[in-house]
Amino acid sequence: MNVSDLGEDPLIQRITAGLPQQANVIVGPGDDCAVIERNHTHDSLLKTDCIVEHVHFLPDTEAERIGWKAVARVVSDFAAMGGLPESLLVTLVIPPETETSWVESLYSGMQCCAEFYGFSIVGGETSSTTSSSPAMISIAGTGLVEKGQAILRSTAQDGDQIFVTGKLGGSIQGKHLDFHPRIEQARWLAEHFRPSAMMDLSDGVAKDLPRLAQASKLGFQLDTAKLPCSDGSTTENALSDGEDFELLFTLSAEHAEHLATIWHQHYPDIPLTCVGYMTRDESQELHGGWDHFKPA
């Protein structure tokens, strides 16, 4: 059986199920970041991500935007844990005919994102691949979060309300290259409301909400009519397009009302929408979303 028969999530479950974890590992595989003991005040967050030519960007995409995207995707995962990025390493795999100026522009875009969010690119690795093969950029990052305060996917509670920030769908029109990860909003949420569970939306609500529910051993009811759609996007786009890099989080009904009231005072330009609730019943079935090995 090949990986496209199996699909992405079952593959990941299969390869990570048996991995033993040392005592310093607080959260291992399966969340937006791993969480590792660090010192008396903070835990470390670890994340790796990658983008591949023809899959995540095209040969004629501006290199600066590719660089921004590569780094911003990882920053979004730190946001999803309620943490902050700290240091990044870049792995670059390119065919020998790659233009040097392309690599320089790529780094310029990565550095631009690093500066914007106040962290450092501290090293990396460069390898050739065979001629005409797709370029690949992998970013590994460390972040930090206040001790014991990382917000996981797996801790949603029965009855919690489900929220999404921003508007969803149609990212391919350009947002997937230029988005700003919700670091500030996630930190604000963590400090003032402490969501019961949180993740970032990378593969579409239809793929990501079931992941959060499964990790929390709960079901969900999603009111698809409430999904906040980007201009020109349909509910189907909001469910399936992916690369929204918005926050998906859950909050007790008791706090949800208070949040809805004051969010808009703090972030008047960013929609916050309650789109459903967690339940002990079986999840409704959603179709769509991005699977790396079973593209729609």
Q: Annotated binding site for substrate, which residues?
A: 56, 243, 290
One residue of 13, 61, 103, 147 binding its own copies per CB under 8 A: 103
Least spacing, CB of residue 128 vs its own copies, in Å: 4
Contacts 24+ apart (CB under 8 A), 15-24: none
Query: Among residues 276 and 289, whose Cβ is nearest to its own copies?
Result: 289
Amino acid letter for position 207: K
Amino acid letter for position 154: S
Instruction: Tell whether residue 215 is a contact of its own copies (CB under 8 A).
Output: no
Q: Which residues are annotated as a binding site for Mg(2+)?
A: 32, 48-49, 77, 200, 203
The answer to whether the CB of 82 falls within 8 A of the CB of 145 is yes
| b/e burial code for range 153-191 (CB count within 10 A of at least 16 → b) | bbbbeeebbbbbbbbbbbbeeebbbebbbbbebbbebbe
CA distances from 97 to 85, 93, 110, 133, 135 (A): 33, 12, 21, 10, 11
Site for its own copies in 42-101 (CB under 8 A): 44, 46-52, 54-56, 86-87, 89-91, 93-94, 96-101
Part of the chain binding its own copies (CB under 8 A), chosen from 136-144, 166-174, 175-183, 267-275:
136-144
| Calpha distance 225→208 (Å, rounded) | 18
Give the CA angle between residues 77, 249, 73 to the nearest 5°.
20
Q: Which residues are annotated as a binding site?
A: 32, 48-49, 56, 77, 107, 153, 200, 202-203, 243, 290
Query: Among residues 14 and 264, whose Cβ is nearest to its own copies?
Result: 14
Query: Among residues 32 and 246, whose Cβ is nearest to its own copies?
Result: 32
Instruction: Tell whether residue 180 is a contact of its own copies (CB under 8 A).
Output: no
**75 is written with which tokens?**
């920053």
Sign of the alpha-carbon torsion through 163, 189, 39, 46: positive
Query: Among residues 78 and 107, whose Cβ is nearest to its own copies?
Result: 107
Query: Among residues 52 and 274, whose Cβ is nearest to its own copies?
Result: 52
Instruction: Tell whether residue 296 is a contact of its own copies (CB under 8 A).
Output: no
Least spacing, CB of residue 233 vs its own copies, in Å: 24
Q: Please provide residue 94's backbone torsions phi and psi, each rounded to the nearest 5 degrees.
A: -140, 150
Site for its own copies in 21-40 (CB under 8 A): 21-22, 24-25, 28-31, 33-34, 36, 38-40
Q: Please provide residue 127's backbone torsions phi and psi, each rounded to the nearest 5 degrees.
A: -135, 150
Least spacing, CB of residue 223 vs its own copies, in Å: 31
Residues in contact with 44: Cβ distance below 8 Å, sequence separation at least 6, in sequence order: 35, 36, 37, 38, 142, 143, 144
Query: Among residues 160 and 203, whose Cβ is nearest to its own copies?
Result: 203
> 292, exposed or middle or buried, with CB in 10 Å at 0-12, 13-18, 19+?
middle
Least spacing, CB of residue 121 vs its own copies, in Å: 5
Site for its own copies in 3-22 (CB under 8 A): 3-6, 8, 11-12, 14-16, 18-22
Instruction: Tell whether residue 142 is a contact of its own copies (CB under 8 A).
Output: yes
Q: Where is 261: in which H helix or E strand? A: helix 253-266
Query: Among residues 138 and 171, whose Cβ is nearest to its own copies?
Result: 138
Least spacing, CB of residue 41 vs its own copies, in Å: 9
Give 62's DSSP letter.
Answer: -
